[in-house]
Each structure stands twice: as C-alpha cells, then as structure tokens.
Structure 1
Amino acid sequence: MKKSLSISDASRETGLSQKQLRSYEARGYISEPFKVRCGEIAYRRYTAQHIAEIKAFKRFVDEGFTLQAASKKIKEKV
C-alpha cells in the first residue's frame, strides 16, 4: 500500500463509499484522516492505520453492532 491513500482509494480498499467515509468521520465514528492542502482545497489522506481502523469498524457493523457500538469497540483497541 502507498504511504497514504486518497478518499477514492480508501473507499475501494475498505468497501465503504466516499459518502459513508465522510459521514462516519463527521460523526466521530472513525478517526479523521490527515489533510493535505493544495491552495484552497484540503484533500483527505488515509494511512495504513486509518484503513485498518475503518476495516475493523466495518467488520463490527457487518456483524450487527450499531455504528456507535462499533466505534466504541475500535477505540477500545487503540
């Protein structure tokens, strides 16, 4: 994997849509990626640690945990 991934690459890697990634980030369910500024625009960049966290979050949700419970479980592991 590259050092960091764009949101579209993170979406492909995790199986979550870009909209879901943005929503879960905004709600605090997953860690905020770091941002790279290019002029007025800030691009999200996801590290391997972000991707692992998102995959774990998705796995818990797929197992039937609520979004809040899945978020709590991944934060307990950190």
Structure 2
Amino acid sequence: MVPPLEGLTPNPQKLAKTYSVSLACKVVGVSSRQLYYWESLGIVNPVYVEFGSYSYRRYSQEDIHLLRRIKNFMDEGYTLRAAAQKVTGRDFNGRNGGPQVANGG
C-alpha cells in the first residue's frame, strides 16, 4: 500500500467535527440543491477541503445549528430570506462572503 502524499489527505481530526453535504442535508432536512442555493446567497459558507485536484464542502456544527434554525422558521411559514435574517440579523439580497478553503493536513 502506498502512503498518501503529504498535504493531500485532509486532517481526520478536523473532518470529524464537520458534516459532508449529504449528511448536512439529512440532518437539516433540505435537498443538496437547497443547500447550494442557500450558500449562493451567503447564508452559510462551508469550508472547502482540498483533496488532490478535488475540493469538498464541509459544514461545521455551527453551520448545522444555523441551518436548522432557518429551516424551522421556514417550516413555520417564513420565506428563506426572512428566516435567515431573523436568525442571523443580516439582510440576504445577494451573495455575502465567499468560500473558505482549507488545505488538508
């Protein structure tokens, strides 16, 4: 077995505290399409973990908590933007912030 190259394998301790897209969707109760849309509005900014030539979104426990609160307000009848504003105190009329990139290792 060939050992992985240094810098290409994400730090397992950091990844253990984060959620993949599929797990985040399951926990929050939204589709991946919804999650990507929320990201495009700047509601959530996951960390991008690079692995070789690929990068993967990872959501922190704080991200999940925020997303669940927003989803709960939406289930009560709030629009996405109104729910996000209620939870964060920010206005979401477009993309805020950008992706965070974390190198593995």
Q: How does the TM-score come out when normalised to structure 1?
A: 0.87
Q: How does 1:1-78 map to 2 (within 5 A)?
A: 2-28=16-42, 30-76=43-89
Q: Distance in 2 between matches of 1:61 and 1:20?
A: 12
Greater RCO, 1 or 2 (C-alpha within 8 Å, sep 6+): 2
Q: Name the structure with the higher strand share.
A: 2
Larger radius of gyration: 2
For 1:46, what is the secondary structure of its paired residue? strand
How large is the RMSD of aligned CA atoms in angstroms? 1.1
Q: Counterpart of 2:32 in structure 1: which amino acid?
A: Q
Q: Distance in 1 between matches of 2:59 and 2:81?
A: 21
Structure 1 gap segments, 5+ residues each = none
